[in-house]
Amino acid sequence: MFDILFQGGKVVTAEGVFEADVAVTGEKIACIGKIDASAASKVVDVTGKLVLPGAIDAHTHLAMPFGGTVSADDYKAGTRAAVCGGVTTVFDYVMQKKYGDKVDGIMESVEKRMAMCAPVAASDYAFHVAITNLDDGRLLSEFPVAAEAGITSFKCFMVYRRENMMIDDGNILTVLEEAKKAGILVNVHAENCDVIDAKVAQFKREGKLSPWYHYLSRPEFVEEEADRRAIYWAEYTGAPLYIVHLANAGGVEVVREAKARGVKIYAETCPQYLEFTSDVYKREDGRNFVCSPPMKGEASREALWKAISDGFIDTVATDHCPFMQAEKDWGKEDFTKIPNGCAGIENLYPYMLDAAGKGKITYERAVELCATNPARIFGCTRKGAIAVGKDADIVVYDPEKDFTISVANMHSDYDHTIWEGKHLHGYPVQTWLRGKLVYDNGEYVGSYGEGKFVKRAKHL
C-alpha cells in the first residue's frame, strides 16, 4: 500500500511531459505509471495539473550581514517563502567571518549557520561556503573535511573589498587547485573590483550619487573581463567552475566560447536579469533594484534568454538577499549606502514556469534549469526529478491559475519586492517536502524545523 497517490496529472521531467500517476511511500517516490486509487491510503486528485519536482534555489543569502545590516529573511522566513514558491531545497551562502587578523575556520563557519538554520528550516537546505581567507594556507586541510561532511561547493567573491568578502586572485587559484583535489566545486562572483572601486570613487567626487550610478559604476565589461580571468584559472588548474548570477551579454559569450573549448564550467543566471534592464535605476524607487551585478541593458537581457534557449546557461537561481525599505532608503541620496540585494526566492519557479506557459522555453527546460541541473551539478543525488527512489519533493502546479505578485501575498519577512505587480499565468497550488504537504493554496502548512540538511556528493 502506498501512502499518497497523485492521480490524473501530467508529470514534467527534464526529458519530457507525460500523463502518469505518482505514488509515494514514506519520504520517497515509489512508483510512476497508471496506478489504481485502491493502492494508496490517500489520493490527491491532480487532474489538469502538472506534477513537478521541487525546485532547488542554489543561490540565497539568508540572515546575511551586509552593508551595515543583515538581510531581511532569516532561515525561518526564507525557507518558508521558498516552499510557498515550490522550492524544496535552499542553498545558503555561509560567509567565513574575519575579525581583524583572526578568521573562522571553514567547518566552524558552517556549524554556526547550521545551528541557526536546523531548528527553524521549513525546506531542506545545503550550504556553499564563501572562502574569504585561507589563514596562510592553514585552512586548506579543512577542504577534504568539508567534502566528507557533504559541503561540496565553495564560493569566491572577486568583489566587495570594503565588505571584507573579497578574496584575491592568487588565493582563488589556490582554492581552485585544492578544491579540485577534494571534490569541491568553486562558485565565483565575477566582477572587476578595482574598476568598480575606481568608478565609485570618481562618481563620489563628482557628486553623482543616484542609483543610476550604481549601474554606471559597474560597466558591462567588468563582468565579462572577470569571467574571462576566472575561466583562465579554471583551465589552468583543470578545476570545474560555476559562475553565479551571470547578467551580461559579454559574459554569455565568454561562457559559450569556454564551453566550446571543453572547459568544465557551469553558468547560472537569475530571474531579475531575465526580467528587468538597467532602466529600473532611473525609476523613483530605483534604489530597491540595487544588487550586484546590476541589471544590465536590453541586449544583455536578450542574450541571457537566448543562452537559456540554446542550453548555455545551466541553472536559474535567485540570489535572494532582500533588505527592508528603510535600509534601502539609506541610499536615497547616495547609491553607495544601499545594501546590495533583492528578493526572489518565492518567485523563481513561478516565473520560469510562466515563461514556459508562454512558450518562451519548455516546461522540461524550466524543470531542468530550476531542479534537475542544480541537483546534478551540486551533488544532491536524492533531489531534482520525479523519478522512483528520489525524495518526494513534489510541486502541484496549476497552469491556468492567475496570480499577481505582491508583498502582501508573499511569505517572507521583507516589506517590499521588486516583483510587485508582476502578473503570472500559472502558479503552484501545493508543495510537498519528502512526502509531507507544506504549502497548500496560498498557505504555509508545514512545521518549522522539519527541513533537513542535504549532505551532498563530491563533485568529481
Sign of the Cα torsion 359, 363, 367, 373 reads negative
Q: Write down the least CB distance from residue 319 to ligand URP, Å.
A: 5
Q: Which three three-digit cell numbers place residue 77? A: 522566513
Query: DSSP secondary-structure letter at 320?
Result: B
Q: Write down the least CB distance from residue 231 to Zn ion, Å.
A: 17
Q: Write down the least CB distance from residue 322 to ligand URP, Å.
A: 10
Q: Which of 80, 218 has the CB closer to ligand URP?
A: 218
- Distance in angstroms (rounded) separating the CA atoms of residues 325 and 259: 40
* Window 102-161: residues binding Zn ion (CB under 5 A): none
> What type of residue sits at position 441?
N
Q: Which three three-digit cell numbers place residue 400? A: 491556468
Q: Which of 10, 218 has the CB closer to ligand URP?
A: 218
9 binds, among Zn ion, ligand URP, none (CB under 5 to 8 A by kind): none
User: Does residue 191 touch Zn ion according to CB under 5 A?
Assistant: no
Q: Which of 104, 319 has the CB closer to ligand URP?
A: 319
Q: Which of 341, 357 has the CB closer to Zn ion?
A: 341
For residue 344, the surrounding DSSP H or E stretch is none
What value, to the nearest 5°, has the Cα angle with vertex 87 and ends 86 and 92?
A: 160
417 binds, among ligand URP, Zn ion, none (CB under 5 to 8 A by kind): none
Q: Write down the least CB distance from residue 218 to ligand URP, Å.
A: 11
- Distance in angstroms (rounded) separating the CA atoms of residues 460 and 239: 10
Stretch that binds Zn ion, among 230-238, 294-302, 314-322, 351-359 (CB under 5 A): 314-322
Q: Write down the least CB distance from residue 71 to ligand URP, Å.
A: 8
Q: Which of 314, 391 has the CB closer to ligand URP?
A: 314
User: Does residue 319 touch Zn ion according to CB under 5 A?
Assistant: yes
Strand partners, 187: 155, 242
Q: Which of 224, 319 has the CB closer to Zn ion?
A: 319
Inter-residue contact 269 to 230 (CB < 8 Å):
no
What value, to the nearest 5°, has the Cα angle with vertex 452 and ends 147 and 414?
A: 105
**Which of 10, 113, 155, 189 forms a contact with Zn ion (CB under 5 A)?**
189
Helix (H), strand (E), coil (C) string for 115-182: HHHCCCCCCEEEEEEECCCCCCCHHHHHHHHHHHCCCCEEEEECCCCCCCCECCHHHHHHHHHHHHHH
Q: Write down the least CB distance from residue 230 to ligand URP, Å.
A: 15
Residues that bind ligand URP (CB under 6 A): 61, 189, 291-292, 319, 321, 340-341
- Binding site residues, Zn ion, CB under 5 A: 189, 319
